[in-house]
């Protein structure tokens, strides 16, 4: 079985450079946190923020960081940056 950082790395690579609006953020958070915690029942990850995710990435020495940006219509989105 893969170790946690490698499993997260594989997930993160799929999202690099993609604008994640609300629905996509929720999809990402479910995939990311389900990999970390392997819950036995559904969990609401809606309150998890980029600060928490970035702290986990730093702790696992993963070369990624989420940034929050605003598009031309003033809608906020997340974007995952590759720091390599």
Q: Read off the CATH number of the domain in which 30 is found.
A: 3.90.1150
Domain count along the chain: 1
Q: Model's pTM, two decimal places? A: 0.87
Of 49, 83, 47, 48, residue with least CA distance to 65: 83
- Give me the count of residues in the chain: 84
Residue-number span of the structural domain to which 43 is assigned? 4-82
Residue 23 CA to residue 43 CA, distance in Å, equals: 16
Q: Looking at the predicted structure, is the pLDDT value of residue 1 above 70?
A: no
Residue 6 CA to residue 19 CA, distance in Å, equals: 23
pLDDT in tens, 26-78: 999 999 998 888 767 777 787 789 999 999 999 999 999 999 999 999 999 99
Neighbours of 43 (CB within 10 A): 13
- Counting Cα atoms < 13 Å in the Cβ hemisphere of 73 gives 3
């Amino acid at each position: 079985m893969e170790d946690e950082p490698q499993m997260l790395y594989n997930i993160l690579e799929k999202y690099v450079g993609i604008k994640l609006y609300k629905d996509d953020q929720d999809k990402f958070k479910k995939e990311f946190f389900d990999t970390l915690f392997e819950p036995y029942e559904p969990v609401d990850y809606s309150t998890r923020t980029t600060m928490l995710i970035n702290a986990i990435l730093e702790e696992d020495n993963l070369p990624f960081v989420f940034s929050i940006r605003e598009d031309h219509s003033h809608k906020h989105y997340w974007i995952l940056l590759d720091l390599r």
